[in-house]
Amino acid sequence: MTQQRSAKWASVILLLLMIIPAITAVFPLAALTLASFKPSTELMRYGLNISPQFKLWSLNNYEYLFTDGSIYFHWFKNSIIISFFSTVLALIFSSMVGYSLAMYRFRGQNIVLFLVLLIMMIPFEILMLPLFRMMIELKAVNTYTGVILPMMIHPLAIFFFRQFALGLPGDLMDSARIDGCTEYGIFFRIMLPLMKPAYGAMGILLALFSWNNFLWPLVVLRSKEMLTLPIGLAGLLSPYGNNYDVLIAGSVLTVVPIIIVFIFAQKYFISSLTAGAVKG
């Protein structure tokens, strides 16, 4: 009986420990969502809060966001395109590099790994100037290519996939070679399904990084129609006036794609934990 009570109290304490961080994480999003339906005067008077105040609710902020020349949709479209291709290409190429560093032995392998770790430790601000010079030479300034190209190979993703690939069974590669499978076939047909959990986890991180990326698109993109959501929404705040009501409404819609990606990738991650398991 005493053990059952102890287990019950332990469950209650564990539940409380999980609820408190959950509320802390949800509170800013809830306050932001409620504020998007209120006039900016209420925001300036009371700040962000979770008081519903339904009598003050209106869709004016969203109507203004959608009817003001539809520039917001241009920003949204740019962010979707850049984030999608940056994430997909980074997953493909980074996983191939990380896989090769883990599963093959070649001259200079340790040097390549050292360079990957070195780039991880160098702040992006140091690499930004030579990268921008490269984009000028390639005539990729103010284009999607100029934003996506430097993000196609991500050092953190390379290291992550390498560490994951070290735990893959190497005997499968030998068996596939005996059956006449090429090295690319081994990767895409055998190893890639086993790496689905890694793709799910890293896909969330890369999508979040690309979606929230502010500095590099700010440097490369020039025209107002080519801006991404973080840059475009930041432009609503200026010394000449702050459009907080539209900024908050736009920020609420900006969170939606990330939530969708997280929910999808989380489900995919969990369902893929047992995919391609080796039966003994």
Single pTM value for the model: 0.83
Whole-number Å distance between alpha carbons of 4 and 10? 10
> What is the predicted pLDDT for the residue at 276?
44
pLDDT of amino acid 221: 92
Q: Residues 136, 159: contact at Cβ < 8 Å?
A: no
What's the CA gap between 72 and 81, in Å, rounded?
Answer: 14
User: Which pLDDT score, from 0 to 100, does residue 242 have?
Assistant: 64
- Which one, of 280, 201, 209, 252, lies nearest residue 62 by Cα? 252
Residue 219: left (phi > 0), alpha (psi -120 to 50), or beta?
Answer: alpha
C-beta of residue 255 within 8 angstroms of C-beta of residue 207 = no
Q: How far apart are CA 76 and CA 99, in angstroms?
A: 34
Low-confidence stretches of the chain (pLDDT beneath 50)? 275-280
Which domains can be identified in the chain, with CATH numbers? 64-271 (1.10.3720.10)
- Predicted pLDDT at 158: 93
Given phi > 0 = left and psi -120 to 50 = alpha, else beta, which region is 104?
beta
Closest CA to 125 of 214, 228, 232, 222: 214
Cα(219)–Cα(204) distance, integer angstroms:
25
∠ at Cα 173 (168, 178), nearest 5°?
160
CB 35 within 8 A of CB 249: no
Q: What is the pLDDT of residues 73-85, one digit of tens each?
A: 888 899 999 999 9
Length of the chain: 280
Q: What is the pLDDT of residue 257?
A: 87
- Beta strands 241-242 and 237-238: pairing type? antiparallel
